[in-house]
Chains A and B, each alone.
Chain A
Amino acid sequence: MSAPERFLERLTARRGGDPSWVAARRQAGAARFEAMGFPTRRDEQWKYTDVRRIAEGDFALATDAEFDSARFDEQRLDIDAYRLVLVDGLFSPALSELDGLPSGVSIEPLSQAIVANHEAVGGSLGRLAGVDFSPFTALNTAFADEGAIVRLASGTVVDKPIYVLLLSRANGQPVMSHPRILIEAGARAEATIIEHYSGESEAANFTNVVTEVLLDRGAIIDHYKLQEAALTDLHVASIHVDQGRDSRFNSYNMNLGGALVRTDLVTDLNGEGAEAAYNGLFFVQGRQHVDNHTLVNHNAPRTFSNENYKGVLDDRSRGVFNGKVFVKKDAQQIEAYQNNANLLLSDRAEIDTKPELVIYADDVKCSHGATTGQLDEDAVYALRSRGIDEPMARALLTLAFVGEVMDKVRLNVIAERVERAVAGRLPERFNLADLVETAEAIQEA
Chain B
Amino acid sequence: MLEVKDLHVTVEDKVILKGLNLTINAGEVHAIMGPNGAGKSTLSAVIAGKDGYEVTQGTILFEGQDVLEMEIEERARAGLLLGFQYPIEIPGVKNIYLLKAALNAQRAARGEGEIPAPEFMKLVREKSTDMKMDPSFLQRAVNEGFSGGEKKRNEILQMLILQPKLAMLDEIDSGLDIDAMKVVADGVNSLRNADRAILLVTHYQRLLNHIVPDHVHVLVDGRIVKSGGKDLALELEERGYDWVLEESVA
Contact = CB atoms under 8 A, between A and B. Distances in A.
B170 to A, nearest CB: 11
A390 B73 CA distance: 8
B104 interface: yes
Contacts of B162: 386-387
Interface in B79-124: 81-82, 84, 87-88, 90-94, 96-98, 100-102, 104-106, 108-109, 114, 117, 120-121, 124
Nearest to B105: A387
A397 B96 CA distance: 14
Interface centre among A379, A385, A396, A399 (most CB of B within 10 A): A385
A388 B98 contact: yes
A50 B109 CA distance: 49
A395 to B, nearest CB: 10
Contact of A442 (B51, B77, B114, B125): B125
A377 B50 CA distance: 11
A441 B72 contact: no
Interface of B, secondary structure class, is helix
A378 B73 CA distance: 14
B96 A400 contact: no
Contact of B82 (A377, A385, A439): A385
B141 interface: yes
A379 B100 CA distance: 17
A384 B50 CA distance: 10
Contact of B90 (A377, A379, A389, A441): A379
B111 to A, nearest CB: 13
A48 interface: no
Interface in B161-176: 162
A400 B19 CA distance: 42
B201 interface: no
B225 interface: no
A105 B117 CA distance: 44
A435 B92 contact: no
Given A387-B106, A443-B139, A438 B100 contact: yes
Q: Is the interface of A mostly helix, strand, loop or mixed?
A: helix
A330 B40 CA distance: 64
A393 to B, nearest CB: 8
A120 interface: no
With a 10 A CB-CB cut-off, give which of A386, A400, A431, A445 has the most chain B CB atoms.
Answer: A386
Contact of A386 (B108, B117, B158): B158
Nearest to A429: B108
Contacts of A445: 121, 125, 135
A210 to B, nearest CB: 35
Given A383-B93, A383-B102, A385-B73, 4 more contacts: A385-B72, A387-B76, A392-B105, A397-B90
30 contacts: A376-B88, A379-B88, A379-B90, A381-B51, A382-B84, A382-B88, A383-B90, A383-B102, A384-B49, A385-B73, A386-B102, A387-B102, A388-B98, A388-B105, A390-B73, A392-B101, A392-B105, A399-B93, A400-B93, A401-B92, A429-B104, A429-B108, A435-B101, A438-B100, A439-B139, A442-B96, A442-B124, A442-B135, A442-B139, A443-B139
Across the A-B interface, give the 10 residue pairs with the lowest CB-CB distance, nearest first. A400-B92, A387-B76, A386-B102, A384-B72, A403-B92, A387-B105, A387-B77, A384-B73, A400-B93, A439-B96
